[in-house]
Chains A and B, each alone.
Chain A
Amino acid sequence: MATAAVARPAAKPQPRARDEEVLVWPDLVFIEFIAAMVFTLALFLLSFLMNAPLLDQANADVTPNPSKAPWYLLNLQELLLHMNAALAGVIVPSIWLVIMGAFPYFDRDNDGQGIWFGTENSIKLSIIGGLVGIVGTWFLILWDSGKLAFFLNDWFGFSGGDTFRFLENVRSIQTQLPWPEWSREITYSPWNIVIIGEDFQNLDFPGWLVEQGIPTGVMVAFPSLLIFALWRAGMIFTRRDAVVVLFSGFVGAYLVLTVVGTAFRGQGQELVFPWQLKVSEGIPGQH
């Protein structure tokens, strides 16, 4: 029986995943080796040129002015100047870490994965988020340090007089407004829970407002408003977009807080230019 030779269509070469792959040795390990060497040499060079600081021996009786935390905590120390200590030092960073850790559980889409700025608009959104974080944080710091009122007065001759003095900074909302006496001690709980606070059952409303209410409001409202505005403007479509704006805003704000805390806070944590920054080494017995 003769079998007819059937002409089969020529097999098209299928692109194989393997063709896109390279070998880890040498293509990756050599890059890693070079990166490690560059950093080793750069750090050796830096260590030859610059010595690590060593001041006088620790002395609990001599307080330098200003006393500062390590630079990567100066963002928190900066926040501390503007709000309640527990809020700035512990609650805000803790909540932020939880929010950041939860990013992948909120944004579950695979879109744009594995590519720099892989989703539509994400470069624009990152720039907007980052700029708003930088400019907004600077604005709030300038306002709360009273510099904004100072500049308006000193540079432009604009003064609100005593009527608007309560807008000078956050604290003046508490001190410059005629709060009724009862609002400074509102009893809202029948029991005092000492473990939470010495005077837990009474609320100093103006104090609470400037130390907790307004700062919390600002930190929640500003990012929310920004995301809402960008959504209405048609730039935010997905959860990824919202997270990109939020994260970029955080990076901007974090950068500004760290830089201001490091280079712009002089004696008494006064806001000064970096070239005016002087550190007093402290006088024994003076705190």
Chain B
Amino acid sequence: MAVETPAKPSLSDKLYDKMFHNYVWKSIFRTGYPNTPRNQMLIVATNVFLHLHPTRLHRTHVKVTHTYCLGGLSFFMFLGLTVTGILLMFYYVPSVERAYLDMQNIETTVQFGQLMRNMHRWMAHAMVILVFMHMMRVFYTGAYKPPREFNWVIGVILLVLTFLLSFTGYLLPWDQLAFWAITVGTNIAGAAPVLGPKSRFWLLGGFEVGPNALIRFYTLHVIGLPLLAAIFMAVHFWRIRRDGGLARPL
């Protein structure tokens, strides 16, 4: 009569056990491998980055054609711009004497400098387009309707912040394209009734685009506006959850 004996653990089983069932690993990742519904929900709920999401959601919302991932991709562009932007900051000094030379250095002598600059530029354009398309998606799916009214308003503010982020970055290369685009752009702002000339002066730190304008645009571009955008984004994402997730037919 055959006796059933449990199979001995294989080498891979032992390795798996050693790697994932030890004290250190368990202290970092509290949940097990996400191959059971329980662990899959736990991993979303206990991870600081993933917990922006609910643990489960309606099946219509995972259809790509419902959102085209536009909001998420806008945020992803923001993250990518932060990474490439920080790398560029290592080599760039926002002074009239150095800015343009630094740009040339980034393009010619810095390892992968040209690539980082290209990435930063094309991502910025992509973000403007994606944010606009995200707004169109939200509009045409009627997702601004109650109770999501205020999140739509925050979205409009984020659209303006995206434009401003892109606009302030435009001056930094300090080439002819940058200089004249910002001259034209700030002239548009300066045309505002009553407050126009004053706000233009405040933005440029003078009557024309010069050293003061460069440092102001740089400061706004690398810290002021990203911080503001991050705060509004936090509220935007938090409210999506608070308002019941993505909009659904009632």
Contacts and interface: CB of A to CB of B under 8 A. Distances in A.
Interface of A: 18, 20-29, 31-32, 35-36, 39-40, 43-44, 46-48, 50-60, 62-64, 67-73, 76-77, 80, 85-86, 88-91, 97, 100-101, 103-105, 107-119, 122, 126, 195-197, 240, 244, 247, 251, 281-282
B118 A51 contact: yes
Given A26-B40, A103-B152, A46 B184 contact: no
Contact of B73 (A35, A60, A89, A110): A35
Interface of B: 34, 37, 40-41, 43-44, 50, 53-62, 64-66, 69, 72-73, 76-77, 80, 96, 100, 103-104, 107, 114-115, 117-123, 125-126, 128, 136, 139-146, 148-149, 152-153, 156, 160, 163, 166-167, 170, 173-181, 183-185, 187-189, 191-194, 196, 208-210, 246-250
A48 B146 contact: no
A90 to B, nearest CB: 4
B188 A24 contact: no
Given A70-B181, A113-B249, A39 B76 contact: yes
A109 B149 CA distance: 11
Contacts of A72: 128, 163, 166
A194 to B, nearest CB: 11
A25 B160 CA distance: 33
A57 B176 contact: yes
Contacts, number: 241
A35 B69 contact: yes
A104 B122 contact: no
A115 B57 contact: no
A76 B167 CA distance: 14
B55 A68 contact: no
Contacts of A109: 145
A23 B184 contact: no
26 contacts: A21-B56, A21-B59, A22-B58, A23-B37, A25-B40, A28-B62, A35-B69, A39-B77, A39-B126, A43-B80, A54-B103, A56-B175, A58-B209, A69-B188, A70-B170, A86-B191, A86-B193, A97-B156, A101-B152, A103-B152, A112-B249, A113-B142, A114-B60, A114-B142, A115-B249, A282-B176
A77 B188 contact: yes
Contacts of B118: 46-48, 50-52
B57 A54 contact: no
Contacts of B176: 55-59, 62, 64, 281-282
Contacts of A32: 69, 72
Contact of A54 (B66, B69, B104): B104
A119 B142 CA distance: 9
Contact of A69 (B140, B185, B192): B185
Given A21-B57, A29-B50, A69-B185, A43 B145 contact: no
Contact of B141 (A29, A57, A115): A115
Contact of B136 (A52, A122, A251): A251
B145 A52 contact: no
Contacts of A244: 140
Interface core residue of B121, B160, B184, B196 (most chain A CB under 10 Å): B184
A39 B59 contact: no
A247 B132 CA distance: 12
Contact of A21 (B40, B58, B178, B188): B58
Contacts of B40: 23-26
Given A23-B37, A57-B174, A67-B181, A89 B191 contact: yes
Given A48-B118, A72-B166, 9 more contacts: A29-B53, A52-B122, A54-B103, A54-B173, A54-B175, A60-B210, A85-B187, A112-B249, A196-B193
